[in-house]
Amino acid sequence: MLHFLFRRVIQAIIVMVVISIISFLVQGRLGDPVQQMVGQSVSLEDRENLREELGLNDSLVDQYMRFAKNAIKGDLGVSYYYKEPALEVILRKVPATLELSFSAIVLIIVISIPCGVIAAIRPKSLLSKALMFFSSIGLSVPIFIIAIFLVYFFSVEWQIAPSFGRGETEVIFSFWETGFTSWDGLQHLFLPSLSLALALMPLFVRLIRSEMMEVLQSEYIKFAWAKGLSPMRIYFVHALKNTLLPIITVAGIQAGTLVAYTILTETIFQWPGMGFLFWDAISRVDTPLISAYLMVVGAMFVITNTLVDLIYGLVNPTVRLSSHGL
């Protein structure tokens, strides 16, 4: 077990090093930082001195080591636009993105489980067919088209939901501002989280359906019927419980897609989270911020994946075997 844990941690570190090299190259490759710092009138000699002072004449390896040391200390450079440490800027935006993703996940769970179960237990019914039909279409509509049309109908035509921003927010502790505590904040959450949910839901409806149908064929469900348990209990407790494990695995993989989709959703709804910040940073060529975002998102992925792997390894020892190529 310890061996397994050790390997995973080493792997995570290697991945982080690769990501940090990319971030370093982004930060260093783009433009001359000296040019950014001084005006046109500064003489060549002064520039050269400044280069020497900043260590820009050192070898790439030395420069990278310095970058990595700073990164470990949490110093990822200063954003050109915000004039603040890039890491702080990004961390301030994390709550907005997390709240958006959280609401979307809640919506997905609340809607896709009943839909998937219904489609599985009555596969021939009209409702199930309609559900499957819409999930096929849903799977084919890119998220930004969903978002555009939601804004068009809900905000512009019917005027029942706000189309941008987070609305009223309240500080819970230190930098965490929440939109959950006010009606206005919740209203603002509605459209962005709905678009995110609609984009990912069809996949889960279909997945729950197919897993559920398989489970319903199994012996122990037949046994449960024979025991005379109530249908609700069989479907939603016994059968559902056993469909969830593979679904959670897929959900873990889809978490990455969710992060990518937040960039699109946040851009359309001007949601002040990490995705919108990233998009903004690209158009402003705010290199330190871009490279810091890369590090932060990379770290998030690596940490969650390593944790998921470790938990799986603890729960299910066969995983350890399969990862060894058997």
Partner 1 sequence: MKNIAYLLASFFILTTSFGIQSAPLSMAFDADPVSLDPHEQLSEGTLQLSHLTFDPLIRWSQNGDIEPRLATHWEQQDEVTLRLHLRKNVEFHTGNAFTAKDVIFTIQRLKRSTDFRAMFDAIRDVKQVDDFTVDVITHQTTPLLLNILTYVFPMDSKFYQGRDEIIKHGETFASKNISGTGPFILKHRESGVRLDFVRFANHWDKQSKGNVDSIKMTPIRSDSTRLAALLSGDVDFIFPISPIDIPRVKRSPNIKFIGMQSTRILLLHMNQARRVEFRDQRVRKAINLAINQSLIVEKILKGFSEPAGQLSFSQFLGHVPEIKPVYDLEKAKQLMIDAGYEKGFRISMMSPNNRYIQDERVSQAIVAMLSKINIAVDLKTLPKAQYFQEFDKRSADMMMIGWQSDTNDSNNLFEFLVACTDPNTGMGAYNASSYCNAQIDERIRAANVEMSPSLRAKLLQDIERILAKESAVVPLLWQSLAWGAKQNFKIENIVNEQNFPHIGDLVVE
Partner 2 sequence: MKHINKEQVISTKSKHWIHLWHGFLSDKIAVLSLLIFTFYCLISLAAPLIAPFDVRDPSFMSLENSEIAPYWIDGDSRFLLGTDGQGRDLLSVILYGTRLSLTIGIFAVVIQGVLGICIGLIAGYFGGRLDNFLMRCADIQLSFSNMMVAIIVMALFQTVFGIASYQHLAMYILILVIGLAEWPLFARTVRASVLAEKQKEYIDAARIMGIGSGRIMFKHILPNTVSPLLVIFTIQIANAIIAEAALSFLGLGMPVTQPSLGSLISSGFSYMFSGAWWICVIPSITLIVLILVMNLLGDWLRDHLNPKVYKD
Write out the residues near partner 2 by the rule CB under 8 A.
11, 15, 22, 26, 29-30, 136-137, 139-145, 148, 152, 156, 246, 249-250, 253-261, 263-264, 267, 278-279, 282-283, 285, 287, 290, 294, 297-298, 301-302, 305, 323-325
Stretch in the footprint of partner 1 (CB under 8 A) among 51-59, 75-83, 291-299, 301-309? 75-83
**Looking at 181, 280, 310, 313, which residue binds partner 1 (CB under 8 A)?**
280
When asked if residue 36 is in the footprint of partner 1 (CB under 8 A), the reply is yes
Site for partner 1 in 125-164 (CB under 8 A): 151-152, 155-156, 159, 161-164
What distance separates the 2 farthest-apart alpha carbons in the chain?
Answer: 90
Q: What is the 3-state secondary structure (H, E, C) of the chain?
A: CHHHHHHHHHHHHHHHHHHHHHHHHHHHHCCCHHHHHCCCCCCHHHHHHHHHHHCCCCCHHHHHHHHHHHHHCCCCCECCCCCCEHHHHHHHHHHHHHHHHHHHHHHHHHHHHHHHHHHHHCCCCHHHHHHHHHHHHHHHCCHHHHHHHHHHHHHHHCCCCCCCCCCCCEEEECCEEECCCCHHHHHHHHHHHHHHHHHHHHHHHHHHHHHHHHHHCCHHHHHHHHHCCCHHHHHHHHHHHHHHHHHHHHHHHHHHHHHHHHHHHHHHHCCCCHHHHHHHHHHHCCHHHHHHHHHHHHHHHHHHHHHHHHHHHHHCCHHHHHCCCC
When the beta carbons of 266 and 309 are compared against partner 1, the nearer one is 266
Q: Which does 161 bind (CB under 5 to 8 A by kind): partner 2, partner 1, none?
A: partner 1
Stretch in the footprint of partner 1 (CB under 8 A) among 42-50, 107-115, 232-240, 275-283? 275-283
The least distance separating partner 1 from the CB of residue 49, rounded to whole angstroms, comes to: 19
The least distance separating partner 2 from the CB of residue 295, rounded to whole angstroms, comes to: 11
The least distance separating partner 2 from the CB of residue 234, rounded to whole angstroms, comes to: 26
When the beta carbons of 36 and 230 are compared against partner 1, the nearer one is 36
When asked if residue 82 is in the footprint of partner 1 (CB under 8 A), the reply is yes
When asked if residue 318 is in the footprint of partner 1 (CB under 8 A), the reply is no
Give me the residues that bind partner 1 (CB under 8 A), please.
36, 39-40, 78, 80-84, 151-152, 155-156, 159, 161-165, 268-270, 272, 277, 280, 283-285
